[in-house]
Amino acid sequence: MRVTVSFVLLATLASLAAAVAAAPANGNGSSSGRQKSVIQLISDGFGPASETFARSFVQARDNLQWNDTLPLDKSIVGTIRTRSTDSLVTDSAASATAYSCGIKSVNAYIGVDIDQKPCGTVLEAAKQKGYNTALVTTSRSTHATPASYAAHVPDRDDENTIAEHMLGGTVLGARVDLIWGGGRRHFLPNTTSGSSRKDGRDLIGEATSAGWSYLSTRAEFDALNNGSDVQLPSLGLFTSSHMSYEIDRLAQNSTVQEPSLAQMAITALNALKKQDEPFFIMIEGARIDHAGHNNDPIGHLHDILAYQELWTAVSQWVDANDASQSSDDPEIVLLSTSDHECGGLTLALQRPEDEEAEYAWYPDVLNNSTHSTEYLAAQFYKYAEAENRTDGELRDYMVQTILPSLGQSDIDEDETARALELAKEDDDGLALTIYLASLVNWRAHLGWSTTGHSGLDVNLYLHVAPQHAQQKLAASFVGNHENTWIGSWTASWLELDLTSVTRQLNNGTLVGAAGEGSANLTTPTGRYHGGPKHVLPALPPRRRGVGYSHRENTSLRAEERSHSMASKRRAHAEL
């Protein structure tokens, strides 16, 4: 697997280098060529421990020196505090609203303030100023992070309305020129198989009638010729729900049906550059977070490595396309941060059977893993439901197909029996997903404190093309910042009028200047808005790992289980 993945990554980087070189070299809109653009990368659920985790794995896998680092390591400039107004532990909605609007808000709120009134976003304000705008993600395009830049709803789960907003269903009209990711199900009418809508609206049809170009396949993406043939506005919905974890995407080999995050990013950037106007783009590596919710080190690791590839590709694109090489003020600013940490990852584990703590963790345990545990659980249920399988057939499939994909050769009978037991008890695959992950965690000595988010600070990274400009600009990024600082800095750097956009969204009545939300903090340490609780089963006699029972929450999928709206609304009512 290591050789195959390395070959694919080399081929991908080569194609991305060609795409970077193919980008138009003209200016971006002003006669002086000096209007500023911002590329904001968000690594959802990616905390500082996850960077160390990935670095140590690569060092061990590739036999590198201890001082070899990852691409992001070279560009760290500060840290970001992540809390929301109603919890010390944020969700993606409140965090992305801080990044997009520059204000604090409530967990689950999308582009609205604590009073549920719309707040103008940096993307909307950039479009009002004449910029081109884009959102690229590996999640559903209607998921919390991208939604918070172009939608305004008090419930992140209202993805059908979010889809409408993103295509222009607010008083502002269409404000996004390019939307690429997953989530097709929220754009299809309820008469179509796979739709999640409750009405008959065909948003894809409405978009194409309004002049949007639409793509949904890898062949259509490849036909864009690295961005030179993109017709804006462009809607790309490559999957029904989220796009694949990177390790599962790569396992498709020559039949890969989805572009990588880096490929989407470079193609989108080339398309924006071609317009000869300044731009704002948000690019999200979303599935790092989803693997964290599953405590899955396999999916987590490979999506982190894909994000490192993204950073390298976009940094090179900036170097090749910023026309201000001799200036103190860069034309294009690339910044990256996370919305929060997910999973509470620790790189050591003292198991109940260990009399003393062992000062170690073992990256090589992950060397031979070939799929995310979410994928493996789904494959098991797909096999089980295909026909009336016997217990023997199910056991054989577990032993011969599922467990070997974890890359562990010493899984014993007790562990196999527990996996089958959880699979029978489980209705949605989540317990099996997390248990399979625990079999790897247990051996690698990786600990996770939660299947939700944590309250940790996250890293802030910066890259601009002129080296002297990097040093000058980095000085203002150094230190520890509130997450609202990202939105405020972006608005200031691009000279955007968030107040005007907020006024328009609220029908001409100003409901609060950007930044006022940060003055209304509470400290609800007794409340946690992470959804239903999960119960640990009894530990097995030896090295069984941690499995979760979640029978009380069978209607929610892994990445959705921490967003119980009723508890959030009750908590907000108490403020």
Residue ranges for the known binding site are 44, 143, 145, 284, 289, 293, 339-340, 453
Measured in Å, how far apart are the chain's first and last C-alpha atoms?
52
Measured distance CA(557)–CA(564) in Å, rounded = 12
Pair 498, 101: CB distance under 8 Å: yes
Q: Which of 122, 203, 118, 117 is nearest to 164 (CA)?
A: 203
Do 110 and 153 contact (CB within 8 A), yes or no? yes
Pairs from 222-227 (Cβ < 8 Å, separation ≥ 24): 224/267, 224/271, 226/18, 226/19, 226/22, 226/23, 226/266, 226/267, 226/270, 227/19, 227/22, 227/23, 227/266, 227/267, 227/268, 227/269, 227/270, 227/271, 227/273, 227/274
Which amino acids are annotated as binding site for Mg(2+), given as ranges? Answer: 44, 143, 145, 284
Contact (CB, 8 A) for 106 and 506 = no
Q: Residue 48: is the preceding peptide bond cis (ω within 30°)?
A: no
Is 462 in contact with 319 (CB distance < 8 Å)?
no
CA distance 219 to 320: 27
For the record, the structure tokens of 397 come out as 């499939």
Q: From the candidates 37, 75, 84, 92, which is the catalytic residue? A: 92
Tell me how crowded residue 366 is: count the other CB atoms within 10 A of its CB.
24
Does the active-site annotation cover 92? yes
Q: Annotated binding site for Zn(2+): which residue ranges?
A: 44, 289, 293, 339-340, 453
How many angstroms separate the CA atoms of 464 and 121, rounded?
23
What sign has the CA pseudo-torsion 349, 354, 358, 361?
Answer: negative
CA dist., res. 466 & res. 468, Å (int): 6
Q: Quick one: tokens of 492?
A: 């200031």
For the chain, what is the largest distance between any 2 Cα atoms, rounded to a whole number of angstroms? 73
Q: Under a CB-based contact definition with an 8 Å cutoff, are residues 531 and 568 in contact?
A: no
The alpha helices in 116-245, defined as continuous H runs, are 122-128, 144-147, 159-166, 203-209, 218-222
Q: What are phi and psi of 109, to 5 degrees?
A: -85, 130
- Using DSSP bridges, classify how beta strands 234-237 and 178-182 pair: parallel, antiparallel or unpaired: parallel
* Tokens 């939608």 belong to residue: 151
- Residue written as tokens 């997903």? 433
Contacts of 519 (CB under 8 A, 6+ apart): none
Alpha carbons 98 and 82: distance in angstroms, whole number: 9
Q: In this structure, which amino acid lies at residue 80?
A: I
Helices (H) and strands (E) in the chain, counts: 20, 14
Residues involved in catalysis: 92
